[in-house]
Structure formats: structure tokens, C-alpha cells
Structure 1
């Protein structure tokens, strides 16, 4: 038994030494980047939930509406149970979620349920504090004291789609000429500035199929979905750009209502526009399931230190070194952009 344990320890040490060498050599003659937060997704990270849903339906048939609602309740219970557990609730409460353009609060509600500190911003709810055009370093320092140094785990942004979505293409020429399109583009840029400033563990910009990427220069999208993938019986193809886990759990039901939004909520009034843009509840909880910090510790931790090799951090955590111990050892070096010193500190922890 001792021989097997010794052999396993030696194999782990050899793996660590290889990862350490790879991590150190990756910095030699490499172009230095402050963060990898805006990197485009790799091909294997792009998820089309329509494809995932088709595979499910071929194997199992459409999920009934009642079964889909049961699954949604299971997802909700995951969030509620995190809140009910004092240890997890305390950990979640040390993390910030910023939800932009969030009048309904639907996308961010699971994070509230789980005990995260959620801050919602929407100009319709508050003309000053909800206007992200007012965001600046001074804005967050003066009003939020930069959240007392707590980690911003997520930034969620359902940017206004009126000037981007293909459903309104007949109005593009007029909007391009009178400045409305430029105003919407600036909201996306301001969102990206906010992401760049806080460098959250995960971030996502949501919009229906349209021209947002071509007009703003967003990297390729990471996720495509329709509401019927999460228990709602209608279609509305939506894309998400950002850094997050796109492999969301699904509850696919037959989209018997088709593209119902303009049928039920047609018109130009602000109220009908708001109704069309509400985030599907099933999507909100599915996104939480795939991206909450408690269930996806390695993702959250490695994204926090995204210049360091993910496998190196994984090996350190698996060896029994805690997140707190690693952070305490490497923070000074990492935030001084001395990544080699940070790697050496992880080495010392592993050898201790």
C-alpha cells in the first residue's frame, strides 16, 4: 500500500514538474498580456444548444412541459440549497455579480437565490445609477468603494437589441443615419470597458441574431440557444459572447408556439419592447447551473488567474492546497505582473 502511495506521489510530482516547466517556458519570448479575458473561444468551446437538444430528442423524444418544469425546479433548488448551506452562502456572499440592462432581474435572479451580492443596473429603473454611460472608476469607487475588494465573479449584460436584431432590419438605415445605432454601439463598448476594468471570472453579452458583432468587433460567439431548449415552447435564436461555460443543461420541449414574441407583443411601445426582451427563466437557471462558483471551482479560480496555466492550478488544488493558500502566496506577484514569481510560489506550496 505504501509502495503504491509513493508511486502515485512520484507520478504527481513528475506531472507537476512538467507543468511547471511548460508554464515557465511559455513566458519566454511571449507577448505579455494583462489578461486573457477577451480571448475568442476555441472551437471545442463553442456550443450550439440546438444540436445538443436534437441529440436528446432523437434519443428520448421531446420532454413534456411538466417534466421540463420539474427540471427547472431542480435547477432552482440547486441555487436555493446553496443559500441554505451556511458555508456555501458565506462563500457566495463574498462574490459580486453585476447585471447590466436588467430591468426584469430574471437573468440575475438565480445568483440572488444562491446568496451572491447582485447589483442590477437599468436606466428604466434609475435614470442615473442605472445608466451605464455613467460608469467610471470614480463612479464605482465613490458609490460602491469598488465592492470592498471582493471578487467580481460575473458580469451579465443583455445589451439593448433594438438597433442590432435582424427582426428590425427594415429600420437600420434610419437608425444608422440619426445616431441611434451609434448610441447602442457605445453601450456595448461601455459594457466591454466595465468587463476590462473588473476582469470578472465569467462574463456574457446576450443578443438575438443580428449585427451586434459586426458593428462592435466582438469576438466570435460562444453559445447559441432558443428558449425551447429550457422548457419554453417558443423559438427566439439568441447568441452569447464572452467567457463562460457554454455547456448548459437542457430541458427541450417542442416549440409549438413558434416565434411568438412579435405575435403576442407586437408594437412600438416601451412596454411591449420590454416584454419581448425578458430573459427566459429556464435559460437563467441553466446558465447558473453551468457557471456558479461553488459547482465550478476550477473554472472560477483559473479564470481569476487566467495568465497562469489552468492545469498547474488544477494540480495544486488536487494536491490539497486550498484556493486561499494559493491566492495568499501568489497575489502580490500576480498583480505586479510577475507571473514567473507566482509560478515559483505555487511550486513552493506543492513542495512544502
Structure 2
């Protein structure tokens, strides 16, 4: 099989496209012929050795996959050879084949094409876990989404609306914000030309926001939390800006708010039944036409480095996908 291989930590240009041995499943694994793999911001960190964990070199990046079952392990009964599936792996998705843990491999609905399926799991799984399990977002509350035009951000905008919240989308330019508005945002903030804290106060009549969804980090995090309402919840999702902010803890005291970590990958591994329930709820919403990932661009497998460069350069609105076979 052909695959993208990271042999040394570094930029996308250091990745290698080469031939590897075909895979054989362990007893609890499913070997999937990959048709599409979603590109996620953590992929750009993993290849540079900057993520929460560092895979042993060499490795193939890529987590969100969709494809056709080639072979199953001895303990796998819920899918069989020939089934169309989607799933999640810690790494290995930028390849023509991948071994997927059985409890992270799901049958793909017939109406969902492979690029959409490969764009679904991490973005919507992360955002739903954040809003439902970590923030306990309630109908009528106000949700601020930073980096709202990205994959997880746009999913949070959609889900926030479905859960009955008033959604304020914040992003770095007006074109990105137009997409957020099309996905249901009630209000928008361009945080490059507006004072984020003051704009939050203006849009909430001085009350502040109940929940902040922050996959960005950097300089805007403290400004956002200063615009939080009493008893609010600040969701730490990621650090796409590249720097981890240092939040003055007196803000949590003064606002009576919670600072809550969100790590969907660990949640999925540690509590698979809860993750399965969330996934089924998300799939139902998709079947009803209430959720639809925005596909920015599809790249061929051999051009994966260009996809990762686009992600690093903040050129992406919604999701980009690698077509693997």
C-alpha cells in the first residue's frame, strides 16, 4: 500500500510518500481500505512533535477516515468485509489502508459520501462532547465560538444552534464570518478589527457569554474570558494560534466561572459507550439534514503536504480532505 510517512519531526515538506507492507488485523481491529481522510489541525502539530503525544517514528499521520472494510479481526462482529465505514485512529489515516480499533469503527450511512464521512468524526465528536458533556450547554444560553470558521469551530456553531443557544461566531476575516453566518451564527465578530471583550458585552447587553468554545488559544483567550457571564464555562479545546495562553486565575474567581478541558480523543477511548451514544445522536442529526460538514478542498494522497500547509497557513474554511484511493 501507499502511504504518507513521517520519518522525522518537522514541517509538511519533510513527509515522504512511499510504499509500505499491507496490513493484517489484530483480533480487535478492522483493516479499512481508506477512501478519504479528513485533515485536522492536530495533524500539523503531530508531524512537528508538538502535540500532547508523540508517536514513535516512523509513523503515518491522519485520524478521521472513511472507506471499505478489507478484513476484520477474530473478535469483530459488527462489521464485515465490503462494508462502508468511517472511524477514528490516533494516527495512520494518510494511507491506502489503516487498522482501526473495532470500537472506533462505524458503518457509514448510505447517503453519506466518503469525504463527508471523513470530515465528521473528530470535528463533530469534539464539539458535541465539549458542548454537551463538558459545558452542559442549555437552550437559551449564549455561546461564543472562537476560530468559528475552522472544522471544529463550524461544527460548534451548528451544534450550538441545534441545542438552542444564541451563537456568536468570532473569526479573523469577513469572508470566514460569512460562512459562519450561513451555518447559523446569530452574531459575528471579526476579532482582528474589533475589541473582542467590548464587542461581546455589546452583543449581550452587558451580560457576557455563558459558554466560550476556544480551539484557538493565543492572545484572544483572555479577552474572551473577560467577556464571560457569571457562572460561565470556558472550554479549552486547542491552540491553533500556536501559543498556549496564561489566564489570570482571578478572572475565574471574579466571574464564578469554570475553565474546562476538552480532549475528545481520550474521552472516546476511556468512555466508549458514551462516545457511541454521542456518535449515534450526531448521525441521526446528519440523517435529518441538520448537520453537514463544509468541504473546503479535496487533495490527492500524494499531495498531503499541501493540505497540511494550507491548514498551517489558516487558509481553510471548514474541512479539507485527502482522497486516498
Same fold (TM over 0.5): no
Greater percentage in helix: 1
Greater percentage in strand: 2
**Per chain length, whose mean CA-contact separation is higher, i.e. which structure has more relative contact order (CA < 8 Å, sep 6+)?**
1
TM-score range, shorter chain: 0.3 to 0.5
Q: Taking structure 2 as the reference length, what is the TM-score of the superposition?
A: 0.34
